[in-house]
Amino acid sequence: MTNSDAVHTPDADALRRQMTKLLEAAIAKLPESFRVVFMLREVEGLSVEETAEVLQIPRETVKTRLARARCKLQQELDSKLRNALHDTFSFAGSDNDALTERVLAKFISNGRKL
C-alpha cells in the first residue's frame, strides 16, 4: 500500500496518529548508537556506506546496529500492540496473536514508516 492508497477516515487517521506516537516513543527508548543509525538509514534514507561515512564507523557496524535497533523496536512494539489488540480483538485469540507477530515482523524488517 502506498501513501496515496492509505485510507483517510477519522478512525484510520486517529489510529495512524496513535501508531506514530508508539513508534516515536519506541525509537526514543533505543540506545543512542542504535537510534542514530536507525534514523539515518530508515528515516533519512542514507545507504549503509553513507551512514558509515557520516558516523565514521565500519559498514558492518552500521548493519549490526540497524539490525539490533529493529529487533529492539519489534520487541517494544510487540508488547504494546499485543496488549492493545488483545482488548480490541479478544474474539480472535491466538489467530490474532500470530497475525500481529507477522505484521510487526514484516513492518520492522521492511523499515516501513507510518
**For residue 72, what is its C-alpha cell?**
529492539
Q: Is the pLDDT of residue 114 over 60?
A: no
- Residue 2 within any structural domain of the chain: no
- Residue 63 within any structural domain of the chain: yes
pLDDT digits (tens, 9 = 90+) for 55-106: 999 999 999 999 999 999 999 888 777 776 666 655 555 566 777 777 777 7
- Residue 54 within any structural domain of the chain: yes
Residue 22, C-beta contacts closer than 8 angstroms, at least 6 positions apart: 77, 80, 81
The parent domain of residue 71 ranges over: 8-109
- Residue 83: CATH number of its domain: 1.10.10.10
Strand (E) positions, the chain?
none
Could you tell me the pTM of the whole model? 0.65
- Residue 3 within any structural domain of the chain: no
- Residue 55 within any structural domain of the chain: yes
Exposed e or buried b per residue across 72-87, where buried means at least 16 C-beta atoms within 10 angstroms of its C-beta: bbbebbbeebeeebee
- Number of compact structural domains in the chain: 1
| 36 C-beta neighbours (distance < 10 Å), count | 17
Task: Name the nearest CA neighbour of 35 among 60, 19, 55, 15.
Answer: 55
